[in-house]
Chains A and B, each alone.
Chain A
Amino acid sequence: QKEVEQNSGPLSVPEGAIASLNCTYSDRGSQSFFWYRQYSGKSPELIMFIYSNGDKEDGRFTAQLNKASQYVSLLIRDSQPSDSATYLCAVNMRTGRRALTFGSGTRLQVQP
């Protein structure tokens, strides 16, 4: 079964620290990878996307992809209390499905 796995957390970091969120996926042929942020009771909000191995930076956020290890991560630098949310990893898997397969999310708590 094709899966996306995330540690549910909570991951607790102090304000100003780096938060590191991880995700593994089962389909080796997966092609595109997305990080969404979801506040309680709200919809997923796109943070980053990455298609190629390596790092991609956007402001305080860096997405990292290692297809050989089937691993994608999100780093949040200078974490703020407003970053406290659930972070969803989502993958476009190869197996005929263009829709996203979501992980269960990691809850991040940034302590002031």
Chain B
Amino acid sequence: EPEVTQTPSHQVTQMGQEVILRCVPISNHLYFYWYRQILGQKVEFLVSFYNNEISEKSEIFDDQFSVERPDGSNFTLKIRSTKLEDSAMYFCASRITVNQPQHFGDGTRLSIL
């Protein structure tokens, strides 16, 4: 069964550094999402992406965040200047149409020191 793949599985970064999280959505999916889950808390929406542009973003997704689909297969989340509170699991998800279920990748655990 096709899967959403995310790399790396674990990223450790010094505060203030830039980090890029990578995702390969399922190949025929058109809608892409990033979510995060701080330890012990809810899964929270960050941003959605469709037709090569952001379609929605949450209040969490401020100017330090950006997303890109550089080559038609990868979907990346960049955090420009990481803060301690950015430590979380980051999940990429994709779906084929807007009302179909989203399928999640295994996540990247981001630890900011």
Query: A residues near B, CB below 8 A?
Result: 31-32, 34, 36, 42-46, 49, 51, 88, 90, 92, 96-105
Interface string of B77-109 (1 = CB under 8 A from A): 000000000000101000000110111111100
Q: B18 interface residue, CB < 8 Å from A?
A: no
Interface Cβ pair total, 8 Å cutoff:
53
Task: Report the minimum CB–CB distance from B8 to chain A (whole Å).
Answer: 14
A102 is contacted by which of B43, B58, B99 (Cβ under 8 Å)? B43
What secondary structure prevails in chain B residues at the interface with A?
strand
When chains A and B are docked, how far (Å) is the Cα of A92 from the Cα of B93? 14
When chains A and B are docked, how far (Å) is the Cα of A23 from the Cα of B98? 22
Closest to B47 in A: A99
Chain B 39-79 interface residues, beta-carbon cutoff 8 Å to A: 41-45, 48, 55-56, 58
Closest to A36 in B: B104
Query: B residues near A, CB below 8 A?
Result: 31, 33, 35, 41-45, 48, 55-56, 58, 89, 91, 98-99, 101-107
| In the complex with contacts A42-B106, A43-B107, A102-B43, A34-B101 CB distance below 8 A | yes
Give the residues in chain A near B102, CB-CB below 8 Å. Answer: 34, 46, 100
Q: Is there an interface contact between A98 and B55, defined as CB atoms closer than 8 Å?
A: yes
Minimum-distance CB pairs A-B, first 5: A99-B45, A102-B43, A43-B104, A43-B107, A104-B42
Task: Report the minimum CB–CB distance from A32 to chain B (whole Å).
Answer: 5
Q: Is there an interface contact between B45 and A101, defined as CB atoms closer than 8 Å?
A: yes
Closest to A44 in B: B104
When chains A and B are docked, how far (Å) is the Cα of A90 from the Cα of B35? 13
Give the residues in chain B near A98, CB-CB below 8 Å. Answer: 31, 48, 55-56, 98
A44 is contacted by which of B43, B48, B58, B98 (Cβ under 8 Å)? B43
Q: Is there an interface contact between A99 and B103, defined as CB atoms closer than 8 Å?
A: no
